[in-house]
Amino acid sequence: MELSGYKCHAFLDWRFVTDDDGRWTEVCNALNGAGYWAMQAKWDEMFAPKVEEVKVEKKKRVTRKKVACEKKVAEKKETSKKPRAKKKAE
């Protein structure tokens, strides 16, 4: 890293990690010396378990107008199901 005059870098939020399983080494190799905005974020990106998205269907809004219309249709069906009186032949 090279800095010209009056330029500086501040590194905050230091922490020590242990590399028991070699995953931090893999993060280091993947970055190949480049920086990243958050090392933990890069680790999570590489090793966090993948969660499948579950689609949730939204309930359809039922308006008063639609309910009234459905009632009218149902009433028409009920009245049309009644047997008609037969005309007597004279």
Three-class SS state of 6? coil
pLDDT tens digits along 12-62: 888 899 999 999 999 999 999 898 888 999 999 999 888 777 787 877 776
As given in the structure block, the two tokens for residue 69 are 């219309």
pLDDT tens digits along 63-88: 777 777 787 888 777 766 555 666 66
Cα 87 to Cα 90: distance, rounded to the nearest angstrom: 9
What is the pTM (predicted TM-score) of this model? Answer: 0.46
